[in-house]
Structure 1
Amino acid sequence: MRNKDDLYLNKIDWLTVSIYACLVIFGWFNIYAAVFDEQFPKSIFDLSINSGQQLVRIGAAFIIILLIMVADYRAFDNLAWILYILFLVLLIVTPFIGKEVNGQILSIGVGSFRIQPSEFAKFTTALALAKYMERPSFDLSQVKHQLQAVIIIMIPVILIMLQPDTGTAMVYFAFFIMLYREGMPQTYYILGLAFIAISLLALGIENNLYLVGGVFAIILLLIITGKKRIGRIVALVGIGIFTVVYIYSLDYVVSKLPEHQQNRIMVLFNPDLDPLGVGWNVTQSKIAIGSGGFWGKGYLEGTQTKFDFVPEQHTDFIFCTLGEEFGWVGSTVVLILFCTLLIRLIFLAERQKNRFSRIYGYCVVSILLFHVMVNISMTIGLFPVVGIPLPFFSYGGSSLWSFTILLFIFIKLDSHRIQLLGRMN
Structure 2
Amino acid sequence: MRQDDLYINKIDWISICIYVALVIIGWFNIYAAVYDEQFPKSIFDLSINSGQQLVRIGAAFLIILLIMVADYRVFDNIAWILYIIFLVLLIITPFIGKEVNGQILSIGFGSFRIQPSEFAKFTTALALAKFMERPSFDLSTFKHQLQALTIIMIPIILIMLQPDTGTAMVYFAFFIMLYREGMPQRYYVLALTFIAISLLALGIEENLYIVIGVVALVLLLIISGKKKISRIIALVVLGIGIIAYSYSLDYVVSKLPEHQQNRIMVLFNPDLDPLGAGWNVTQSKIAIGSGGFLGKGYLEGTQTKFDFVPEQHTDFIFCTLGEEFGWVGSLVVIILFCSLLIRLVMLAERQKNRFSRVYGYCVISILFFHFMVNIAMTIGLFPVVGIPLPFFSYGGSSLWSFTILLFIFIKLDSHRIQLLGRMG
**Shorter-chain TM-score range:** over 0.9
* CA pair 363-373 structure 1, distance change in 2 beyond 3 A: same
How far, CA to CA, are the matches of 2:346 and 2:322 in structure 1? Answer: 29
* Aligned residue number for residue 72 of structure 2: 73
* Aligned residue number for residue 205 of structure 1: 204
- Asked whether the equivalents of residues 353 and 423 of structure 1 are also in contact (C-alpha less than 8 Å), the reply is no
* Aligned residue number for residue 62 of structure 1: 61
Tell me the TM-score normalized by structure 2.
0.97
1:363-378, aligned counterparts within 5 Å?
Answer: 363-378=362-377
What fraction of aligned residue pairs are identical, expressed as a percent? 84
Which amino acid in the other structure matches residue 211 of structure 1?
Y
1:367-421: CA deviations, max 9, x gaps? 0000001000000000000110000000000000000000000000000001011
Q: Secondary structure at the match of 1:418?
A: helix
How far, CA to CA, are the matches of 2:186 and 2:418 in structure 1? Answer: 37
- Asked whether the equivalents of residues 285 and 379 of structure 1 are also in contact (C-alpha less than 8 Å), the reply is yes
Instruction: Kindly indicate whether residue 283 of structure 2 is the aligned counterpart of residue 284 of structure 1.
Output: yes
- Asked whether the equivalents of residues 353 and 424 of structure 1 are also in contact (C-alpha less than 8 Å), the reply is no
* Aligned residue number for residue 182 of structure 2: 183
1:21-420, aligned counterparts within 5 Å?
Answer: 21-208=20-207, 210-222=208-220, 230-420=229-419
- Asked whether the equivalents of residues 30 and 313 of structure 2 are also in contact (C-alpha less than 8 Å), the reply is yes
Deviation at 1:235, TM superposition (A): 3.0
Q: Secondary structure at the match of 2:7?
A: helix
* CA pair 43-360 structure 1, distance change in 2 beyond 3 A: same
- Asked whether the equivalents of residues 224 and 232 of structure 2 are also in contact (C-alpha less than 8 Å), the reply is no
- Asked whether the equivalents of residues 99 and 105 of structure 1 are also in contact (C-alpha less than 8 Å), the reply is yes
How far, CA to CA, are the matches of 2:115 and 2:335 in structure 1? Answer: 29
Question: Larger deviation: 244-253 or 81-90?
Answer: 244-253
- Asked whether the equivalents of residues 354 and 423 of structure 1 are also in contact (C-alpha less than 8 Å), the reply is no
Question: Larger deviation: 390-399 or 188-197?
Answer: 188-197
Question: Larger deviation: 323-332 or 137-146?
Answer: 137-146
Question: Larger deviation: 212-221 or 340-349?
Answer: 212-221
* CA pair 134-230 structure 1, distance change in 2 beyond 3 A: farther
Deviation at 1:212, TM superposition (A): 2.2
* CA pair 418-204 structure 1, distance change in 2 beyond 3 A: same
Which amino acid in the other structure matches residue 178 of structure 1?
M
Identify unmatched segments of 5+ residues in structure 1.
none
Q: Secondary structure at the match of 2:388?
A: coil
How far, CA to CA, are the matches of 1:194 and 1:147 in structure 2? Answer: 21
1:148-205: CA deviations, max 9, x gaps? 1111000000000000000000000000000001011111111111111111111111
How far, CA to CA, are the matches of 2:63 and 2:154 in structure 1? Answer: 27
Tell me the TM-score normalized by structure 1.
0.96
* CA pair 36-4 structure 1, distance change in 2 beyond 3 A: closer
- Asked whether the equivalents of residues 6 and 68 of structure 2 are also in contact (C-alpha less than 8 Å), the reply is no
* CA pair 146-231 structure 1, distance change in 2 beyond 3 A: farther
